[in-house]
Amino acid sequence: MTRSHIPGILAMAAVVVASNILVQFLFGQWLTWGAFTYPIAFLVTDVMNRVYGAAAARKVVAAGFVAGVICSLIGTRIMLQGDGFTYPAVTLRIALGSGLAFLTAQMLDVAVFSALREGKWWRAPLASTLIGSSVDTAIFFTVAFSAALSWLEPVNDVSWAGEVLPLLGTGPETPLWVSLAVADWLVKLSLALLALVPFRIIVRKLTAKTT
């Protein structure tokens, strides 16, 4: 690790910590505030990959993963109360889903970006973020809330997530967690497009400093 990697590592850690805090606060019916900060992690990874290479990007991802693990460990110790129940802020399934989703999606992002880095400037960050974000959403919500994986944590009742409702309130009937996943995924897709602007600006500035 070199000094030039430190800003990326700090940025990734900040995104992960902020998202772990903001996920506790609802935004409307289907989202939390964390849904709007977490996708910035893909921007950080892509900037590091473009400017410093895949190895540097993987180091930043590793730092983010460590930060996420620490947040999860702290979250399991924080007990919340509601509807007459006491429960941890972070359950085992959420911790597993979060860690597995982050590491898999971010490493996939690095691989896709590296494979496309010689093409048009926008293709690598857009494709890698879209693919990584989709995988991230699929892994997290499935591991954390799918009834099929209830054996991962039998003591954690996630039956509420399996309540059958119209998709996003208007579509075909699906388990609640599917609507939560789709809403999260749509935010990620939108931010993937918007992130191309800061990606271009940041890469230009960092490239100018390194040349």
Question: What integer pLDDT is reported at residue 108 of this predicted model?
Answer: 98
What is the number of domains present in the chain? 1
CATH code, domain with 201: 1.10.1760.20
Handedness of CA 169, 172, 174, 180 (dihedral sign): negative
Question: What integer pLDDT is reported at residue 90 of this predicted model?
Answer: 79
Residue 53 region by backbone torsions, left for phi larger than 0, else alpha for psi between -120 and 50, else beta: left
pLDDT tens-digit series, residues 44-56: 999 999 999 999 9
pLDDT tens-digit series, residues 198-210: 999 999 999 887 6
User: How far is Cα 123 from Cα 121, in angstroms, rounded to an integer?
Assistant: 6
Q: What is the pTM of this model?
A: 0.92
pLDDT tens-digit series, residues 147-184: 999 888 888 888 888 999 999 989 899 999 999 999 99
Strands 173-175 and 164-166: antiparallel
Task: Compute CA distances 123 → 16, 112, 133, 166, whole Å.
Answer: 25, 10, 15, 35
Domain that includes residue 119, residue range: 3-210
